[in-house]
Structure 1
Amino acid sequence: MKIVTGGQTGVDLAAWQYALDNGIAYGGWVPKGRLNEAGRIPERFKGLTETQSEDVAVRTKRNVQACDALLVFVDGVTSPGTQLTIDFAKEIGKPFLVVDLRRGGGVCADQINSWIMSHPATMVNIAGPRESEAPGIGAQVTSVLQQVRFPIDTNS
């Protein structure tokens, strides 16, 4: 199991931190210079691959292409980047799940756990709004992910 994101604040960094804290492999394509809206992506996140472009759409598309499935968190705000990610998944034909955090953490975790069982994947792209678009979304995602049962290979 590996979690990939593009390194933006909010959902992306929360997913990487969750992976780091729980011994789950993580990575992903990030913009040239390792930049997100807060500046440089923290150095504690290792093994990231920079694109040749600072355009976030380039890393978004590469992460969707690389993953087996896409897990998207939303909370009712309009996020052009999140919509672009979903559009790429539809275009490429990747399975995806959109989870609305307004439904509550337990409901969201149950929805994700059911989806994981029916869509086995070894590389999941976790995406959603940046923190400036949805203040507090990183903490909400962390809370939900702590209730999710990702398959982890204990033989590695």
Structure 2
Amino acid sequence: MLTKIISGGQSGADQAALDVAIKFGIPHEAWIPAGWGVKNGIVSGPYTFREMPTSSVPQWIKHNILYSNGTLILSHGKLTGGSAAVLQSAEPRYRPVLHVDFSGTGEFASAQLIHSWFERNEISILNVAGARAEKDPRMYDAATRVLETALHLGIMETNLLDSVRPDPETPHSVMEAVAQILSRLTLKEKMAVAKMREFNLDLFSPALLRIIRENFGVRSGNEELLESCRLLYGPHETDENGPTSVIIEALWKKLQGTHALRI
């Protein structure tokens, strides 16, 4: 769970991270080299600034990497300049680092990748770096959307885990299972699923998969539900991934029809 988001306080990716932190109520800090200001690309706004005791750029980069326990670098294309320097500095320091190139990965897939990286590495203090707005005018908006979606995915997983409980009735069909899942999701969560352009079981929350496998009886042998899966989509794998995939795909298709136009 993120407890703080930090950045270098510049425009573009840095500022997006600070604004997202404020929106989600996550403490933030913008660490800047001594004496730096607007002429150096530092943004102004309702941010918590921390000035370094030195104006050294390498020390600035090193501080943010070591102060955090994970560095996320965002780009459209190949890393250059300061972003490339961050990656080069982070890799030898045994801190988790993730570079997400929006030009090669869709925004929803990027958000899922980031969320999974958060969970896998137990990131609590996140350092965000990337191109400044002057070099990449699209960066602020793209970074904001992706970071917000990644955090919403985390909230969705938490909410789903909190709701892992026996339902009043075990679903007997795929459509009943879909209806029960929909009753657990908020509008933003439904829209996040609808944003997926292609169905991929691996992109879905482990908490959602757990609900289907355990609460819906897929793992224990809910024969009526399993037969409904076979009738709708034909034979599938005999392990739990087969019917789980059928139910999730039905959910995705339904949300594609009901929520995709709102995005």
TM-score (norm 1): 0.87
> 3-state SS of the aligned residue for 2:5?
strand
- CA deviation after TM superposition for structure 1 residue 88, in Å: 1.2
**Match of residue 9 from structure 1:** 11
- CA deviation after TM superposition for structure 1 residue 100, in Å: 1.1
Q: Deviations along 1:24-57, whole A, 9 cap, x unmatched?
A: 11114212234255655314102x2211333433
Bigger RCO of structures 1 and 2 (CA < 8 A, at least 6 apart): 1
- CA distance in 1 between counterparts of 2:23 and 2:39 reads 23
**Match of residue 46 from structure 2:** 44
**Match of residue 30 from structure 1:** 32
**Match of residue 95 from structure 1:** 96
Show structure 1 runs of 5+ residues with no match: none
- CA distance in 1 between counterparts of 2:42 and 2:98 reads 29
- CA distance in 2 between counterparts of 1:5 and 1:59 reads 10
Structure 1 residues 80 and 115: CA distance shift in structure 2, 3 A: same
TM-score (norm 2): 0.53
**Match of residue 134 from structure 2:** 132
Q: Mark the structure with the bigger radius of gyration.
A: 2
- CA distance in 1 between counterparts of 2:77 and 2:53 reads 32
Q: Deviations along 1:109-138, whole A, 9 cap, x unmatched?
A: 111111112110211101111112212201
- CA distance in 2 between counterparts of 1:75 and 1:15 reads 16
Q: Larger deviation: 113-122 or 26-35?
A: 26-35
The number of equivalent residue pairs is 151
> Which runs of 4 or more aligned residues in structure 1 lie more than 4 Å from their structure 2 counterparts after TM superposition?
36-40
The answer on 1:58 being equivalent to 2:59 is yes
> 3-state SS of the aligned residue for 1:147?
helix
2:9 counterpart letter in structure 1? G
**Match of residue 80 from structure 2:** 79
Measured on the aligned residues, the alpha-carbon RMSD in Å equals: 2.0
Identity %: 28
- CA deviation after TM superposition for structure 1 residue 90, in Å: 1.1
Show structure 2 runs of 5+ residues with no match: 156-263
Looking at secondary structure, tell me which structure has more helix per residue: 2
Contact 2:78 2:101 in 1 (8 A): no
Contact 2:38 2:44 in 1 (8 A): no
- CA distance in 1 between counterparts of 2:43 and 2:28 reads 14
Contact 1:34 1:41 in 2 (8 A): no
- CA deviation after TM superposition for structure 1 residue 81, in Å: 0.3
- CA distance in 2 between counterparts of 1:10 and 1:38 reads 13
**Match of residue 104 from structure 1:** 106
Structure 1 residues 78 and 72: CA distance shift in structure 2, 3 A: closer
Structure 1 residues 120 and 36: CA distance shift in structure 2, 3 A: farther
Looking at secondary structure, tell me which structure has more strand per residue: 1
**Match of residue 223 from structure 2:** none
